[in-house]
């Protein structure tokens, strides 16, 4: 029997990373592929205490349906942290989502009609691209350098696409490149968005994972017109399995996201929200985040120092000041997918870079994640990968 699906189903493709992760489940594989956080950073014992206290004190409400917007004490905590980072926002302007990935999907649902233009960095976060693709947009890529998206190229894209629906950016320790947009460009980006009357989707999962220097102000700090939609998550600073993220936006825009949320799943897991709020009440959340930062900094150092020793000298790669990734550029004409095949024979996995380019190409790049593996396996894996690269 022929099943008639919606036209959009044809645009939904398997995630290259998710498919690759199946290969990394083989015994002995050292994986730099996925974006999984460090499991040793999960506060298991403390969360046990918080969970027990929630069930003892609030069991009936924690296991019940709740409001679409989310648990008020958790939203108040998020608003306070955002205010401390330079964003003027209130709890009522925050919607708790099922991870920030749900916020990306809602953004596609709310803004994109078939054929609409989405402007994004090149390369960009593959999870966002896949979320948007379900709504069949056209991607217009904006080239980056070490200071992030090039503003002259962005302005050109805006002039050529006056009906573009939004600008998508991961401005801080970007996935996949680890680049951070400069303060000057953040301010210029908001000015351009206001001038061309186009919203900005600021995706900031890694902003708290800073290793050196001062925290940079979010793009939304410069937003006086309610034109920036901010996506945040606890997946990188706490536990990804709880699936807790949020959307922060002007009241008018947030109402649309709340409607999308009501139609999708009514509300985010009540128990998870109250558990996290109880953890915050019982323990020092900022001390926990500092512990997470230190874990990733040590792993960053282990990876980059070994790359300096083991990789061929003609390769380029980013030095991350935060986040979970480094981005490797091979000489022109070398396909990272072919390198991966050989690398898997040595039981080392990474993600070829072409998947991160909305319109394909740029096969001579790949992404490495230092977040998941223990330091000794990072060193061993980079040595194996270095051997493959030298041979090829």
Q: Structure pTM?
A: 0.94
CATH of residue 113's domain is 3.40.640.10
Say yes or no: 219 and 343 in one domain.
Answer: no
Q: What is the pLDDT of residue 6?
A: 78
Report whether 212 contacts 319 (CB < 8 A). no
Q: What is the pLDDT of residue 17?
A: 56
Contacts of 11 (CB under 8 A, 6+ apart): 133, 134, 136
Contacts 24+ apart (CB under 8 A), 88-94: 89/220, 89/248, 92/251, 93/248, 93/249, 93/250, 93/251, 93/254, 94/69, 94/70, 94/246, 94/247, 94/248, 94/254
Say yes or no: 209 and 346 in one domain.
Answer: no
In the chain, the number of structural domains is: 2
Assigned domain for 240 exists? yes
Say yes or no: 366 and 238 in one domain.
Answer: no
Q: Which domain holds residue 238?
A: 58-282
Classify 389 as helix, strand or coil: helix
Say yes or no: 141 and 20 in one domain.
Answer: no
Assigned domain for 260 exists? yes
Contacts of 176 (CB under 8 A, 6+ apart): 123, 125, 126, 325, 327, 351, 353, 356, 367
Assigned domain for 121 exists? yes
Of all residues in the chain, what percent are helix, strand and coil, respectively (each to 5)? 50, 15, 35
Query: What's the Rg (C-alpha) of the chain?
Result: 21
CATH of residue 35's domain is 3.90.1150.10
Specify which residues 94 forms β-bridges with: 248
Assigned domain for 52 exists? no
Specify which residues 261 forms β-bridges with: none
Q: What does the buried/exposed string (b/e) look like for 305-343 if buried means 16 or more CB atoms within 10 Å of the residue's CB?
A: ebbeebbeeeeebbebbbbbbbbbbbeeeeebeebbeeb
Q: What is the pLDDT of residue 74?
A: 98
Say yes or no: 218 and 261 in one domain.
Answer: yes
Q: What is the pLDDT of residue 2?
A: 79
For the sheet with 94-98, list strands across it. Answer: 94-98, 244-248, 228-233, 200-203, 166-169, 117-122, 138-145, 148-149
pLDDT along the chain (392 residues), means of 10: 75 61 74 91 97 96 96 98 97 98 98 97 96 96 97 98 97 97 98 98 97 94 97 97 97 98 96 98 98 97 97 94 97 92 93 92 94 96 96 85
Assigned domain for 48 exists? no
Assigned domain for 305 exists? yes
Say yes or no: 257 and 375 in one domain.
Answer: no
Say yes or no: 123 and 216 in one domain.
Answer: yes
Say yes or no: 73 and 203 in one domain.
Answer: yes
Assigned domain for 50 exists? no
Assigned domain for 327 exists? yes
Say yes or no: 273 and 294 in one domain.
Answer: no
Say yes or no: 312 and 276 in one domain.
Answer: no
250, 282, 314 — which closes off a domain? 282
Say yes or no: 265 and 358 in one domain.
Answer: no
Distance CA 96, CA 58 (A): 19
Report which DSSP code applies to 246.
E
Please give the distance of CA 108 from its chain centroid, rounded to a whole number.
16
């Amino acid at each position: 029997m022929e099943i008639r699906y919606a036209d959009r189903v044809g645009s939904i493709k398997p995630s290259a990373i998710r498919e690759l992760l199946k290969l990394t489940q083989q015994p002995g594989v050292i994986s730099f592929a996925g974006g999984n956080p460090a499991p040793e950073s999960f506060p298991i014992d403390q969360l046990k205490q918080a969970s027990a206290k929630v069930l003892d004190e609030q069991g009936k409400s924690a296991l019940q349906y709740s409001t679409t917007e989310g648990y008020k004490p958790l939203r108040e905590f998020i608003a306070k942290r955002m205010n401390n980072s330079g964003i003027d926002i209130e709890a009522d302007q925050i919607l708790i989502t099922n991870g920030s990935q749900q916020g990306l999907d809602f953004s596609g649902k709310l803004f994109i009609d078939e054929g609409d233009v989405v402007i994004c960095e090149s390369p960009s976060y593959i999870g966002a691209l896949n979320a948007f693709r379900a709504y069949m947009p056209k991607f217009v890529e904006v080239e980056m350098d070490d200071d992030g998206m090039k503003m002259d190229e962005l302005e050109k894209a805006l002039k050529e696409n006056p009906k573009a629906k939004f600008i998508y950016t991961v401005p801080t320790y970007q996935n996949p490149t680890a680049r951070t947009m400069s303060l000057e460009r953040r301010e210029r980006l908001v000015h351009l968005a206001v001038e061309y009357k186009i919203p900005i989707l600021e995706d900031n999962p890694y902003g708290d994972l800073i290793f050196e220097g001062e925290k940079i102000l979010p793009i939304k700090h410069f937003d006086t017109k309610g034109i920036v939609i901010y996506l945040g998550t606890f997946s990188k600073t706490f536990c990804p399995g709880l699936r807790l993220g949020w959307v922060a936006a002007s009241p008018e825009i947030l109402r649309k996201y709340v409607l999308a949320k009501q139609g999708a799943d009514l509300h985010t897991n009540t128990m998870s929200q109250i558990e996290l709020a109880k953890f915050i009440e019982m323990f020092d959340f900022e001390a926990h985040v500092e512990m997470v930062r230190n874990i990733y900094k040590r792993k960053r150092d282990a990876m980059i120092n070994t790359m300096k020793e083991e990789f061929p000298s003609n390769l380029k790669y980013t030095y991350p000041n935060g986040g979970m990734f480094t981005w490797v550029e091979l000489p022109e004409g070398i396909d990272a997918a072919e390198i991966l095949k050989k690398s898997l024979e040595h039981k080392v996995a990474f993600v070829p870079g072409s998947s991160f380019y909305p319109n394909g190409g740029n096969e001579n790049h790949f992404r490495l994640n230092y977040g998941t593996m223990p330091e000794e396996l990072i060193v061993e894996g980079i040595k194996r990968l270095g051997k493959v690269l030298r041979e090829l």
